[in-house]
A = this chain, B = another copy of it.
């Protein structure tokens, strides 16, 4: 399971100010902290970047890459920003992962083709065309099939696809029920689509809202192994939650074939 830091977000005032003033230092500091904490990839969550999307995303990618060789995810709904990020990273060995597309018409038209153009992996969200969470597991699967059809029609190779079944906050009325579908989808999608489908889940989504940190951590620590047991490939999470990361590594040791070693924990 690859651990992707969700800690680089434009919603953090220090990051917003750094982007606004093109000041690399706070961004570099945070990225280094993520890598030290155990991040294996960095999600650059820039938000929609309504003003100067190209310049800002290029600045972000260049700044992050100045201090790390970890893979990047470009997490924005703005196709101009994504393309600028992909261009800024063209010297990398692996293109950034596009995060992401869905059945939303604008994303199909403007974001999905970028994966083809830049040979990038792309995350596909299991959301309805109007960006709602599907009602039940059958609807999730139906969305996944439609999403895969669009993905194939765009001329992409199976190994470029990463499915995000969208973890719901537990406080949503149907949050727990939906998350049961999320677990099933992660477990069954490879059988359904007929190839080894990579999956990603946003662990922090589980506890969105004003919830005491202790309870957030308990939820994360409990749910992440459930997802790992279902076969999750990538977890997007707060890498500063030390125990959650220890548990993620323990899950890898427990769930992957190979000689077990306490030293890996």
Interface residues in chain A, defined as those with a beta carbon under 8 Å from any beta carbon in chain B: 170-171, 173, 175-177, 179-180, 183, 211, 215, 218-219, 221-230, 246-247, 250-251, 253-260, 262, 265
Check B226–A180 contact: CB distance below 8 A. Answer: no
Nearest chain B CB to A221 CB, angstrom units: 6
Q: Is the interface of A mostly helix, strand, loop or mixed?
A: helix
Check A226–B247 contact: CB distance below 8 A. Answer: no
CB contact between A179 and one of B180, B211, B254, B258 (< 8 Å): that residue: B254
Check B223–A226 contact: CB distance below 8 A. Answer: no
Which of A170, A211, A230, A260 has the most C-beta atoms of chain B within 10 angstroms of its own C-beta? A260
Q: Which chain B positions have C-beta within 8 A of A221?
A: 221, 225, 247, 250
**How distant is the Cα of A254 from the Cα of B171 in the complex, in angstroms?**
11
CB contact between A218 and one of B223, B258, B265 (< 8 Å): that residue: B265
Nearest chain B CB to A235 CB, angstrom units: 13
**How distant is the Cα of A223 from the Cα of B255 in the complex, in angstroms?**
9
CB contact between A229 and one of B176, B183, B219, B247 (< 8 Å): that residue: B183
Check A257–B176 contact: CB distance below 8 A. Answer: yes
**How distant is the Cα of A258 from the Cα of B253 in the complex, in angstroms?**
33
Check B226–A255 contact: CB distance below 8 A. Answer: yes
